[in-house]
């Protein structure tokens, strides 16, 4: 008689649970009856600005609104804006919403970040900006981005939806560029359900964004310009403020988990971790590897299936590059090719990453990746 192997307890892919303090903070707002954007959103803005190195921080409804609020004062319809071919759709789709033409830039294979050399080749007399995503939580080469922007007089927006509290050259990412945008979507490092924030260092731009966020209203029922209602509410603000208090500690735990992954994967052929940009620290929203399918003689789907069976959940970020999205087909003519982004779409895979990973979890992960690698010739 054979005895079945004990079922492995699967590792959580991400950890989104609120803590009692978050719930208490939200409950206090509910009890107060002050549900609109008020003291909690204001306190979240102050603390976020301080922690990220920005002068102004403005909460809003989500990370997509944050991009829209940053783009509208900085870009005009018809502008060409350089944007990564390797990002989440919103970075580019909100340029389209502004009437801009997204000019897709290929990625660096080793890091998954925007390739500034490719960006430089795509500059034309109509180029007005760069919208660069700090992918997976890791800042792009901000030095090269700002140098390219300075050379051509471009505006820069950094999409930091995945990169809360990451740093570049020892400084908070809020110090760089014209504006930085964040998402507080439920699964993000600072998750509030839905939510977002824009930071900037220019007083006039901050005022423009504040007005756009709330119907251009300068005093009650006086509307100086056309805007939106993209405000955050105070329940969300309270959860965000409570979570922000522990975010530095949780970010450190993610960084330590990344070190453990590095140690484990260094000994496993076929699993290649993405590298961190020189001078940067990553917030490790995701821990994404490239599969070397020359070493592992199988498909990515099989690797994911086998890992799942061994208690190691995985996900794809992302299965398509942005130029491969039907939504952008009408912009691609004459733009050339994005071979690296397309290769990343075929080869990347994300492993579990959160602040609660323990040695027990890493034992499951190590066993899983080693078993799969040896099964397929790695
Ligand atoms: C890089 C990037 N940009 C923008 C967004 C949009 O944020 P939200 O979902 O809060 O609208 C996300 C969220 O997934 C993202 O990952």
CATH of the domain at 326: 3.90.1150.10
State whether 209 and 63 are in the same domain: yes
Tell how far the Cα of 304 is from the centroid of ligand 1, in angstroms: 24
32-67 pLDDT, tens digit per residue, is 999 999 999 999 999 999 999 999 999 999 999 999
83 near 92, Cβ under 8 Å? yes
State whether 179 and 216 are in the same domain: yes
Tell how far the Cα of 183 is from the centroid of ligand 1, in angstroms: 6
**Last residue of one domain, picked from the residues 244, 271, 294:** 244
Tell how far the Cα of 350 is from the centroid of ligand 1, in angstroms: 17
- Give the model's pLDDT for residue 113: 98
In a domain, residue 349? The reply is yes
Helix then strand then coil, in percent of the chain rounded to 5, is: 40, 20, 40
In a domain, residue 3? The reply is no
In a domain, residue 158? The reply is yes
In a domain, residue 4? The reply is no
State whether 222 and 371 are in the same domain: no
In a domain, residue 10? The reply is no
Ligand 1 atom with minimal separation from the 185 CA: 10
Q: Which of 16, 182, 185, 325 to mutate to test the pocket of ligand 1 (most atoms within 8 A of CB)?
A: 185
Q: Which of 63, 138, 190 to mutate to test the pocket of ligand 1 (most atoms within 8 A of CB)?
A: 63
Ligand 1 atom with minimal separation from the 187 CA: 14
Tell how far the Cα of 117 is from the centroid of ligand 1, in angstroms: 25
**In angstroms, rounded to a whole number, what is the distance separating the alpha carbons of residues 46 and 124?**
38
| Residue 116, number of CB atoms within 10 A of its CB | 22
**Strand duo 196-200 + 56-60: pairing:** antiparallel
In a domain, residue 230? The reply is yes
State whether 229 and 258 are in the same domain: no
Whether the pTM exceeds 0.85: the reply is: yes
289 near 317, Cβ under 8 Å? no
Nearest residue CA, atom 3 of ligand 1? 161
- Give the model's pLDDT for residue 159: 99
State whether 166 and 271 are in the same domain: no
- Give the model's pLDDT for residue 7: 66
Instruction: Mark 230-264 as b/e (b = at least 16 C-beta within 10 Å).
Output: bbbbbbbbbbbbbbbeebeebbebbbebbebbeeb
**Token digits of residue 54:** 């920005």
**In angstroms, rounded to a whole number, what is the distance separating the alpha carbons of residues 140 and 107?**
10
* Total number of domains constituting the chain: 2
236 near 71, Cβ under 8 Å? no
Ligand 1 atom with minimal separation from the 135 CA: 1
The residues, ordered by sequence, that sit 6+ positions from 191 with a Cβ below 8 Å of its Cβ are 16, 184, 185, 243
State whether 258 and 228 are in the same domain: no
**Token digits of residue 94:** 């909100």
CATH number (domain holding residue 123)? 3.40.640.10
Instruction: Mark 204-216 as b/e (b = at least 16 C-beta within 10 Å).
Output: ebbebbbbbbbbb
In a domain, residue 317? The reply is yes
**Last residue of one domain, picked from the residues 244, 276, 303:** 244
**Last residue of one domain, picked from the residues 244, 259, 279:** 244
State whether 192 and 79 are in the same domain: yes
State whether 50 and 71 are in the same domain: yes
State whether 57 and 163 are in the same domain: yes
| CA neighbor of 179 nearest in space, from 87, 70, 66, 83 | 70
- Determine if ligand 1 sits within 6 Å of the CB of residue 159: yes
- Give the model's pLDDT for residue 5: 52
- Give the model's pLDDT for residue 82: 99
User: CA separation (Å) from 114 to 22, 219, 354, 368?
Assistant: 35, 42, 24, 31
Q: Which of 60, 61, 88 to mutate to test the pocket of ligand 1 (most atoms within 8 A of CB)?
A: 88
Domain span including residue 357: 247-375
State whether 133 and 277 are in the same domain: no
The residue assigned the tokens 């107060």 is 32
State whether 252 and 230 are in the same domain: no
In a domain, residue 259? The reply is yes
Q: Residue 42: what are its φ and ψ, rounded to 5°?
A: -65, -40
Tell how far the Cα of 90 is from the centroid of ligand 1, in angstroms: 6
Residue 15, by phi and psi: left (phi above 0), alpha (psi -120 to 50) or beta?
beta
- Determine if ligand 1 sits within 6 Å of the CB of residue 185: yes
State whether 229 and 302 are in the same domain: no
Tell how far the Cα of 67 is from the centroid of ligand 1, in angstroms: 9
- Give the model's pLDDT for residue 8: 78
**In angstroms, rounded to a whole number, what is the distance separating the alpha carbons of residues 49 and 53?**
6
- Give the model's pLDDT for residue 377: 87
* pLDDT beneath 70: ranges in the chain: 1-7
Q: Within 13 Å of residue 247, how many CA atoms lie on the same side as its CB?
A: 25
**Strand duo 171-172 + 287-291: pairing:** unpaired
């Amino acid at each position: 008689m054979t005895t079945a192997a004990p079922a492995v307890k699967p590792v959580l892919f991400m950890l989104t649970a609120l803590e009692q303090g978050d719930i208490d903070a939200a409950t206090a707002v509910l009890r107060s009856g002050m549900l609109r954007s008020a003291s909690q959103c204001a306190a979240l803005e102050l603390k976020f600005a301080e922690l990220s190195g920005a002068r102004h921080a403005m909460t809003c409804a989500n990370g997509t609104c944050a991009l829209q609020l940053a783009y509208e004062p900085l870009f005009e319809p018809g502008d060409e804006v350089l944007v990564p071919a390797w990002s989440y759709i919103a970075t580019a789709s909100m340029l389209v919403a502004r009437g801009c033409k997204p000019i897709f830039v290929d990625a660096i294979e080793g890091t998954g970040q925007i390739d500034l050399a490719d960006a430089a080749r795509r500059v034309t007399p109509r180029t007005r900006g760069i919208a660069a995503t700090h992918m997976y939580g890791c800042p792009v080469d901000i030095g090269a981005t700002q140098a390219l922007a300075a050379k051509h007089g471009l505006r820069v927006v950094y999409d930091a939806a995945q990169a809360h509290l990451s740093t570049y050259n020892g400084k908070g990412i809020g110090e760089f560029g014209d504006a930085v945008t964040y998402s507080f979507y439920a699964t993000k490092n600072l998750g509030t359900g839905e939510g977002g924030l824009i930071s900037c260092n220019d007083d006039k731009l901050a005022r423009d964004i504040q007005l756009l966020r709330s119907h251009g209203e300068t005093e009650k029922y006086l509307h100086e310009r056309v805007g939106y209602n993209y405000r955050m509410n105070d329940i969300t603000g309270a959860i965000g403020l409570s979570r922000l208090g522990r975010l530095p500690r949780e970010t450190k735990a993610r960084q330590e988990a990344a070190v453990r992954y590095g140690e484990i994967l260094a000994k496993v052929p076929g699993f290649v971790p993405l590298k961190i940009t020189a001078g940067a620290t990553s917030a490790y929203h995701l821990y994404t590897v490239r599969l070397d399918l020359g070493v592992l003689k199988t498909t990515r789907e099989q690797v994911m299936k086998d890992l799942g069976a061994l208690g190691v959940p995985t996900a794809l970020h992302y299965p398509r590059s942005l130029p491969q999205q039907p939504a952008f087909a009408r912009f691609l003519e004459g733009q050339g090719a994005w071979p690296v982004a397309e290769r990343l779409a075929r080869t990347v895979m994300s492993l579990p990453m959160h602040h609660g990973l323990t040695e027990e979890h890493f034992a499951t992960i190590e066993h899983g990746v080693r078993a799969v690698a040896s099964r397929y010739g790695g």
